[in-house]
């Protein structure tokens, strides 16, 4: 469980960041963070991960550093290493020998449809394949907490949807807690169990609610009236924020 109380981190020059927000994220829940630029979405991920320290308030969770994985918008692959070598980095850094690391990586390459690309280098891969490698690298340690910072933002819509299906399947089998930042309302609602909407600069919590769409997330969910009602609700909050800023 992640619990934050009046948690804040403000960058004085821009006033971007996070105002005093409070909430609780249960273990194993997938939570989407929505909000305009500068509202503190990525700041919250950095605070939870330990990359940054809070300016105010408290943050409590049980996850050790080696139980947390972070996937960025940029796949952040090492260009001089091939796919297998990039995926096994978290294991070799822990001291696991290369043969054992590769044996553990192979099932993840299969799950993410990367097996035939295992000896390819990043410059030989499409954007979608690079992101698959980044996700495999994050999941190889079977983290208890997975932080996703707009991982699909640079991808075409069909690839985003395909990776969304794959991530839902992996989440259902592993049940990590997931915090995901996205600018896509539809994507965020489709993938997650709960949505947090941040408003303002620095960001304040405008909405914290579970969506109750059920376990199975077929593409047809996006056209259901209850789903569209949620899209409208989130859009109204974000649109109102844009109008205030203009």
Question: For 81-113, how does the pLDDT look when each residue is reduced to its tens digit (9 = 90+)?
Answer: 999 999 999 999 999 999 999 999 999 999 999
Task: Calculate the dihedral angle through the C-alpha atoms of 69, 74, 75, 76, rounding to the nearest 10 degrees.
Answer: -80
> Within this chain, do residues 113 and 203 fall inside the same structural domain, yes or no?
no
3-state secondary structure of 202: coil
Domain count, the chain: 2
Question: For 53-74, how does the pLDDT look when each residue is reduced to its tens digit (9 = 90+)?
Answer: 999 999 999 999 999 999 998 9
> Within this chain, do residues 203 and 224 fall inside the same structural domain, yes or no?
yes
Answer with the one of 143, 163, 185 that is the final residue of a domain.
Answer: 143
Answer with the one of 143, 164, 179 that is the final residue of a domain.
Answer: 143
DSSP letter assigned to residue 203: B
2 vs 221: CA distance, rounded Å: 28
> Within this chain, do residues 135 and 149 fall inside the same structural domain, yes or no?
no
| 47 domain residue, yes or no | yes
With a cut of 90, say whether residue 243 has pLDDT above it. Answer: no
> Within this chain, do residues 206 and 129 fall inside the same structural domain, yes or no?
no
| 74 domain residue, yes or no | no
Q: Give the per-residue pLDDT at 15.
A: 79
Q: Give the per-residue pLDDT at 194.
A: 97
Model-level pTM? 0.93
Domain extent at residue 97: 79-143
> Within this chain, do residues 195 and 230 fall inside the same structural domain, yes or no?
yes
């Amino acid at each position: 469980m992640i619990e934050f109380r009046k948690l804040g981190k403000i960058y004085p020059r821009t006033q971007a960041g996070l105002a005093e927000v409070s909430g609780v994220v249960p273990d194993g829940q997938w939570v989407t963070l929505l909000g305009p630029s500068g509202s503190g979405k990525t700041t919250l991920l950095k605070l939870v991960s330990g990359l940054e320290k809070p300016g105010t308030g408290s943050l409590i969770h049980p996850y050790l550093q080696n139980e947390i994985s972070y996937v960025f918008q940029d796949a952040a692959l090492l260009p001089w290493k091939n796919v297998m070598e990039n995926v096994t980095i978290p294991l070799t850094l822990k001291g696991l020998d290369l043969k054992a690391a590769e044996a553990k990586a192979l099932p993840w390459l299969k799950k993410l449809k990367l097996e035939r690309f295992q000896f390819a280098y990043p410059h030989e891969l499409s954007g979608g394949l690079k992101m698959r490698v980044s996700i495999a690298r994050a999941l190889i340690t079977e983290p208890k907490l997975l932080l996703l910072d707009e991982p699909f933002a640079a991808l075409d819509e069909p690839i985003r949807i395909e990776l969304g299906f794959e991530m839902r399947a992996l989440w259902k089998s592993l049940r990590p807690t997931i915090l995901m930042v996205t600018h896509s309302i539809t994507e965020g609602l489709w993938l997650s169990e709960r949505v947090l909407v941040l408003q303002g600069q620095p960001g304040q919590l405008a909405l914290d609610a579970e969506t109750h769409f059920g376990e199975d997330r077929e593409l047809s969910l996006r056209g259901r009236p209850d789903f569209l009602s949620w899209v409208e609700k989130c859009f109204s909050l974000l649109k109102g924020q844009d109008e205030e800023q203009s």
